[in-house]
């Protein structure tokens, strides 16, 4: 029996806000968002919504993000890394950083064909 994959997500979206940084240690990190679109129908009207999910990609994979164009459709496999910090008011803030294990260029499908 195969082991179940835990703490893992596979998601496709369009790249946004790509930033690649290199450190003196030789490591690199790419921080970017994936734009995810959904359409909601209410009272016969269609409304499009976009949300931006932040991701990080470290080491060798990060360098490849230098060549990605804004709006390029990709699929990522990632895991959640919970983080917390104390804000200036002394309150603990929690958030999740999605760390990319693998990513793939995804063929662009016209919107009318994707429905």
**Structural domain contains residue 76:** yes
Please give the tally of structural domains in the chain: 1
**Structural domain contains residue 4:** no
**Structural domain contains residue 45:** yes
Tell me the whole-structure pTM to 2 decimals: 0.76
Is residue 65 packed enough to be buried (19+ CB in 10 Å), middle (13-18) or exposed (0-12)? buried
Domain that holds residue 34: 9-107
Which of 3-12, 51-60, 65-74, 92-101 shows the lowest mean pLDDT across its residues?
A: 3-12
Q: If you ran DSSP here, which 8-state letter would residue 59 be given?
A: T
Contacts of 98 (CB under 8 A, 6+ apart): 9, 53, 54, 55, 56, 76, 78, 79, 80, 81
In which band, very low, low, confident or very high, does the pLDDT at 69 lie, cut at 50, 70 and 90? confident
pLDDT of residue 105: 84
**Structural domain contains residue 112:** no
**Structural domain contains residue 88:** yes
Q: Which CATH number fits the domain that encloses residue 29?
A: 2.40.50.140
Q: CA 92, CA 18: separation in Å to the nearest integer? A: 28
pLDDT of residue 63: 85
**Structural domain contains residue 25:** yes
């Amino acid at each position: 029996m195969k082991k179940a994959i835990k703490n893992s997500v596979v998601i496709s979206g369009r790249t946004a806000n790509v930033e690649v940084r290199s450190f003196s240690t030789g490591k690199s990190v790419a921080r970017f968002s994936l734009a995810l679109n959904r359409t909601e129908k209410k009272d016969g009207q269609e409304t499009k919504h976009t949300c931006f999910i932040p991701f990080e990609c470290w080491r060798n994979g990060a360098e490849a993000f230098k060549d990605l164009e804004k709006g390029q459709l990709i699929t990522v496999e990632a895991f959640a890394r919970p983080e917390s910090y104390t804000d200036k008011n002394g309150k603990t803030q929690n958030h999740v950083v999605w760390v990319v294990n693998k990513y793939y260029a995804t063929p662009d499908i016209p919107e009318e064909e994707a429905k």
